[in-house]
Protein backbone atom coordinates (compact mmCIF):
# COMPACT_ATOMS: atom_id res chain seq x y z
CA UNK A 1 0.00 0.00 0.00
CA UNK A 2 1.43 3.35 -1.02
CA UNK A 3 0.50 5.15 2.23
CA UNK A 4 2.21 2.57 4.43
CA UNK A 5 5.32 2.47 2.23
CA UNK A 6 5.50 6.27 2.16
CA UNK A 7 5.36 6.45 5.95
CA UNK A 8 7.99 3.72 6.21
CA UNK A 9 10.46 5.29 3.80
CA UNK A 10 10.07 8.77 5.31
CA UNK A 11 10.68 7.30 8.79
CA UNK A 12 13.74 5.42 7.50
CA UNK A 13 15.21 8.54 5.89
CA UNK A 14 14.68 10.50 9.10
CA UNK A 15 16.44 7.79 11.10
CA UNK A 16 19.35 7.59 8.63
CA UNK A 17 19.88 11.35 8.76
CA UNK A 18 19.52 11.61 12.54
CA UNK A 19 16.17 13.42 12.49
CA UNK A 20 13.66 12.46 15.14
CA UNK A 21 10.27 11.82 13.52
CA UNK A 22 7.61 12.84 16.03
CA UNK A 23 4.43 12.48 13.92
CA UNK A 24 3.43 11.77 10.32
CA UNK A 25 0.17 11.65 8.41
CA UNK A 26 -0.33 11.06 4.71
CA UNK A 27 -3.20 13.07 3.26
CA UNK A 28 -4.70 12.71 -0.23
CA UNK A 29 -2.69 15.64 -1.59
CA UNK A 30 0.01 16.39 1.00
CA UNK A 31 1.99 15.02 3.94
CA UNK A 32 2.19 16.32 7.49
CA UNK A 33 5.57 15.68 9.12
CA UNK A 34 6.68 16.78 12.55
CA UNK A 35 10.34 16.14 13.15
CA UNK A 36 13.25 17.37 15.20
CA UNK A 37 16.56 18.06 13.52
CA UNK A 38 19.86 19.74 14.23
CA UNK A 39 19.99 23.51 13.69
CA UNK A 40 22.60 22.74 11.02
CA UNK A 41 19.94 21.00 8.91
CA UNK A 42 17.88 23.61 7.10
CA UNK A 43 14.18 22.97 6.52
CA UNK A 44 14.67 23.20 2.76
CA UNK A 45 17.47 20.62 2.78
CA UNK A 46 15.39 18.28 4.94
CA UNK A 47 12.40 18.58 2.58
CA UNK A 48 14.59 18.11 -0.49
CA UNK A 49 16.20 14.99 0.99
CA UNK A 50 12.89 13.46 2.08
CA UNK A 51 11.23 14.19 -1.25
CA UNK A 52 14.03 12.93 -3.48
CA UNK A 53 14.76 9.69 -1.62
CA UNK A 54 11.10 8.83 -1.06
CA UNK A 55 10.15 9.50 -4.70
CA UNK A 56 12.79 7.06 -5.95
CA UNK A 57 11.63 4.37 -3.52
CA UNK A 58 7.92 4.88 -4.17
CA UNK A 59 8.24 4.89 -7.96
CA UNK A 60 10.48 1.81 -7.78
CA UNK A 61 7.99 -0.03 -5.57
CA UNK A 62 4.95 1.18 -7.53
CA UNK A 63 6.02 1.75 -11.16
CA UNK A 64 2.41 1.89 -12.38
CA UNK A 65 1.83 4.87 -10.12
CA UNK A 66 4.21 7.01 -12.14
CA UNK A 67 2.62 6.03 -15.44
CA UNK A 68 -0.96 6.39 -14.30
CA UNK A 69 -0.98 9.32 -11.92
CA UNK A 70 1.98 11.49 -12.75
CA UNK A 71 2.47 11.09 -16.49
CA UNK A 72 6.25 11.04 -16.11
CA UNK A 73 6.45 14.02 -13.73
CA UNK A 74 7.78 14.03 -10.19
CA UNK A 75 5.96 12.70 -7.17
CA UNK A 76 6.25 15.82 -5.03
CA UNK A 77 5.46 19.44 -5.85
CA UNK A 78 8.16 22.05 -5.45
CA UNK A 79 6.32 23.78 -2.63
CA UNK A 80 6.63 23.23 1.10
CA UNK A 81 5.47 24.75 4.33
CA UNK A 82 7.87 24.88 7.27
CA UNK A 83 6.93 25.85 10.78
CA UNK A 84 8.59 25.68 14.15
CA UNK A 85 7.19 24.81 17.54
CA UNK A 86 7.38 27.58 20.05
CA UNK A 87 4.01 28.95 21.12
CA UNK A 88 2.37 25.51 21.24
CA UNK A 89 3.44 22.28 22.84
CA UNK A 90 4.94 19.33 21.01
CA UNK A 91 1.94 17.27 22.13
CA UNK A 92 -0.47 19.77 20.50
CA UNK A 93 1.34 19.49 17.18
CA UNK A 94 1.34 15.68 17.35
CA UNK A 95 -2.41 15.60 18.09
CA UNK A 96 -3.11 18.02 15.24
CA UNK A 97 -1.24 15.83 12.75
CA UNK A 98 -2.67 12.57 14.06
CA UNK A 99 -6.24 13.92 13.75
CA UNK A 100 -5.97 15.22 10.18
CA UNK A 101 -7.64 12.25 8.50
CA UNK A 102 -10.54 12.23 10.94
CA UNK A 103 -11.06 15.94 10.21
CA UNK A 104 -11.75 15.21 6.53
CA UNK A 105 -13.44 11.87 7.05
CA UNK A 106 -10.73 9.94 5.21
CA UNK A 107 -9.05 6.72 6.11
CA UNK A 108 -5.87 4.85 5.24
Look at 61 and 102; give whichever has higher pLDDT. Answer: 61
pLDDT digits (tens, 9 = 90+) for 83-96: 877 778 888 888 88
Count CA atoms within 13 Å of residue 67 on its CB side. Answer: 5
d(CA 48, CA 42) in angstroms, rounded, equals 10
d(CA 35, CA 14) in angstroms, rounded, equals 8
Do residues 67 and 59 lie in contact, with contact meaning Cβ atoms separated by under 8 Å?
Answer: no
Which residues have a catalytic role annotated?
96
Task: Answer whether 0.85 is exceeded by the pTM.
Answer: no
Hey, what domains does the chain have and what are their CATH numbers? 2-104 (3.30.70.1290)
Do residues 2 and 62 lie in contact, with contact meaning Cβ atoms separated by under 8 Å?
Answer: yes
pLDDT digits (tens, 9 = 90+) for 55-76: 999 888 888 877 766 655 677 7
**Residue closest to 80 by CA, chosen among 39, 107, 108, 52:** 52
Amino acid sequence: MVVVDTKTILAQVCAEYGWSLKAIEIMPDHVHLFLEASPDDTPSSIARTLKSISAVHIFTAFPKLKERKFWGSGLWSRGCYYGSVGAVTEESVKKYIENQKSNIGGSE
